[in-house]
Amino acid sequence: MAKNYTELINRVKRRSNPENLINKRAVLEGVGIPYSQVGEYVKLAMVGVPPEYTNNSKVAAKKVMAHLENSHGNEVTFKFQGSIETNTHILKDNDIDLVQISNKSSSVDRQGLKKALDEHWNYTKTEYTNLKKHSDTFSQYDCNQLSDLGKLRLKSEKVLKSIYNEVDIDKPKAIFVKVTSPLRNVDVVTAVYHKTIPFMKSNHDYRKGIQVYDKSIDDKLPTEFPFWSIKRINEKSILSNGRLKKMIRFMKNVKWDTSLIVGKPKISSFDINAICYDINLDIYASLNYLELVRVIYNQISKILIDTNYRDNLKSVDGQESIFRGKSEKIEELRIFKAEIDSILTDIYLQKIISV
């Protein structure tokens, strides 16, 4: 076999379970499939971290949250975002994201709201009523939203530096905090809600967007929809009996196991989510975990070959093109293809699954 699977297996174990907790998920995976090293590597690369490890990550974040709540009172609302909320995290991207959202103001898609009310026939009676209520209750914020966000960020920096020994305030989008008990890294992001038509017509909180404050430019970044993405991944993974999340975790582990990706990877967890999420559920709904490797390989091949498909591949929230105009990501995707091709070859040589 071309790869040293003993070393790869040890890396995955260190990355996904550094505290050596008993991972019942890993024990139960792969029942009925003949043992091999490549099979064990794939199995472990797809299994989620132990629930106890995830729970401890949230315990650490809640400690940070408590200190900020004592300082800010009801000025902010706290939310978790990122891969820990979909249980697709591995140690390499295991920082937990804590978003503090200012309650003083929010931004609203006023132009979209006006158009929606003018085109009322496109909406149900309930949706139109919800939109009308948002329009009727809208009031212009008299203060400076950016100034509020800057002050909130600065106040948070001072609070956390007074409590924790290791705090990095130089990151433009987040405050990095190392919590020692339990030992975890927490990123505190400052943001405001952005109310779009999908939220205002439904009043579902998971459809709210957020605009993250970047202190290096003293401005808000383009709107993100992390809670919508989390919901979509969780729901589609339920429909696939967890197979979607297995593929996401596998791609993340392959990314960190290849020596051919030098420096900071161009393809992020955000991109990997989109690549796997866009695969038609019917293709893999009943496949075993080893067969999922071939599904991922075929998806990557399709992205590389089909320019139209590649250019139209969107993020899970449907807002951002993943590959359009981003040649460096395409080149890195070729590395993914070669790595997964090698793993597939070893699976076939071991005769675990048929070609």
Residue 198 confidence (pLDDT) above 90:
yes
Report pLDDT for 262. 79
Distance, in Å, from the CA atom of 271 to the CA atom of 251, rounded to the nearest integer, reads 10
Q: What is the mean pLDDT of residues 44-51?
A: 89
Q: What is the mean pLDDT of the chain?
A: 90
Q: What is the mean pLDDT of residues 332-348?
A: 93
Q: What's this model's pTM, rounded to 2 decimal places?
A: 0.88
Residue 276 confidence (pLDDT) above 90:
yes
Distance, in Å, from the CA atom of 130 to the CA atom of 146, rounded to the nearest integer, reads 28
Q: What is the mean pLDDT of residues 290-302?
A: 97
Q: What is the mean pLDDT of residues 197-205?
A: 97
pLDDT tens digit sequence for 51-80: 888 899 999 999 999 999 999 999 999 999
Residue 2 confidence (pLDDT) above 90:
no
Confidence of residue 30 (pLDDT cuts 50, 70, 90): very low
| 111 strand-pairing partners | none
Residue 154, helix vs strand vs coil: helix
Distance, in Å, from the CA atom of 185 to the CA atom of 94, rounded to the nearest integer, reads 8
Do residues 127 and 202 touch, judged by C-beta distance below 8 A?
yes
Report pLDDT for 28. 44
Residue 21 confidence (pLDDT) above 60:
no
**Which phi and psi (to 5°) does residue 70 adopt?**
-60, -30
Distance, in Å, from the CA atom of 260 to the CA atom of 251, rounded to the nearest integer, reads 15
Residue 100 confidence (pLDDT) above 50:
yes
Angle between helices 289-305 and 327-349 (to 10 degrees): 140
Question: Which CATH architecture fits 52-226?
Answer: 2-Layer Sandwich (3.30)
Domain ranges of the chain: 5-47+240-349, 52-226
Report CA-CA distances (Å) from 148 to 52, 107, 134, 158: 37, 13, 23, 16
Residue 11, helix vs strand vs coil: helix
Report pLDDT for 261. 83
Distance, in Å, from the CA atom of 177 to the CA atom of 91, rounded to the nearest integer, reads 16
Distance, in Å, from the CA atom of 250 to the CA atom of 299, rounded to the nearest integer, reads 14
